[in-house]
Structure 1
Amino acid sequence: MNKILLKFPHEFTTDRLVIRLPMSGDGKVVHNALQASINELKPWMPFAQKDQTEEETEINIRESHIKFLKREDLRFLVFHKETGEFICSSGLHRIHWGVPKFEIGYWTDTRYCGKGYTTEAVAGLTDFAFKELKAKRVEIKCDTKNRKSRAIPERLGFHLDAILENDDLSVDEQELRDTCIYSKVKL
């Protein structure tokens, strides 16, 4: 079957969150979150190295929507269920439909850090991948120095498969970095 024909929900909820595909018009709230969080994102995220305009963020959102529909990359935006406020961007990336396997990535608006929202979103995405997409493997990769990012898979019981030494460059390309690979598998 062609992957574009795969049917699965484009939105789901957890206890406190609504998790859905990006929609036209979401650029404004995502841009505001990026602006509020840029200092915390800059050490870890390549996209945070360059200032983005609201228009550029909206273009990125619309491109993400298209990739979602084409089943090339499944970016999700996370909103508070009661208030509707944008909390984080996450998703199922680097998809290998033949296995199927997915890599979860995430960044959170700094104003919502420390409240368990990202952990709840990642738990929801992991469950979604296994139940709705019949995943056999879900991975989370992160820089060994990014303690906050590492804490999420560790809290959720992901297995640390490996630490790849000298695997990547820091986002400023000034030093070699090691990469943690965490996974959950379904037999």
Structure 2
Amino acid sequence: MNPLLLDIPLQLETERLILRAPHQTGDGKIVNQAIKDSFSELKAWLPFAQKLPTAEETEINLRNAHINFLKRESFRFLIFDKNSNHFIGTTSLQRIDWTIPKCEIGYWVNTKFSGNGYMTEAVEKLADFGLNNIKFRRIEIRCESTNLKSRAIPEKLGFVFEGTLRNDDLSADGSKLTDTCFYSIIR
């Protein structure tokens, strides 16, 4: 089946969260503020957070994410608390290979909401959706070996630790080689 024919909802829900595709004008302002609030934590792990983007740059990034969603190249979701509507972070089905089909889950959390299990809840929903609705055969989570908070998520969710790729990537700031831990779940 051509992936463009897949019916992918723009919103998913969990007990506490709403996961929504970035399709609303103004999402950039909300996400940009969370990047600013979380900058020191994000900078340690994510190449995109090496310099603060402007709200306009973030808005453009989210509009491109929506285009990629419609083209079925990746599925980014903004995470909101159901009760307060506070922005929690993002999670995505990305690096999709439709020939298998398989993908990778990526995520980052607004520091203000870290430690409450929100990201674990969101990733669990996205993995379940990917396996059972989109019918991915394999979903991976990759993270730097020293990023223990990020590694805790696939470990809590029962992803299988497949190993560590030594000197696999550069640190977020590009200054040194890092090791990448691989986790997966299969159908």
**TM-score, with structure 2 as normaliser:** 0.97
What stretches of structure 1 move > 2 A for 4+ residues in a row? none
Q: Which moved more, 1:4-13 or 1:153-162?
A: 4-13
> Which one-letter code corresponds to 2:4 in the other structure?
I
* In structure 1, distance between residues paired with 2:82 and 2:8: 21
Residues 69-89 of structure 1: per-residue CA shift (max 9 Å, x gap) = 010111111111111111011
Q: Which residue of 2 aligns with 1:34?
A: 35
Q: Amino acid of the residue matched to residue 68 of structure 1? A: F
> Do 2:35 and 2:52's aligned partners in 1 also have CA atoms closer than 8 Å?
no
Q: Structure 2: 5+ residue runs without aligned partners?
A: none
CA distance in 2 between counterparts of 1:112 and 1:154 reads 20
Give the root-mean-square deviation of aligned CA atoms.
0.9
Contact 2:20 2:78 in 1 (8 A): yes
Q: For residue 21 of structure 1, what is the aligned residue in structure 2?
A: 21
Determine the structure 1 residue equivalent to 2:4. Answer: 4
State the secondary structure of the residue aligned to 2:64.
helix
Distance 1:136 1:20 in 2: 24
Superimposed CA distance per residue, residues 82-103 of structure 1 (whole angstroms, 9 cap, x where no aligned partner): 1111101111000011211110
Q: Partner letter of residue 3 of structure 1? A: P
1:2 partner amino acid: N
2:181 aligned with 1:180: yes
Cα displacement string for residues 17-63 of structure 1 (whole angstroms, at most 9, x for unaligned residues): 00111123211110010000000000100010022111111111111
Runs of at least 5 residues in structure 1 that lack an aligned partner in the other structure: none
SS in 1 for 2:168: strand
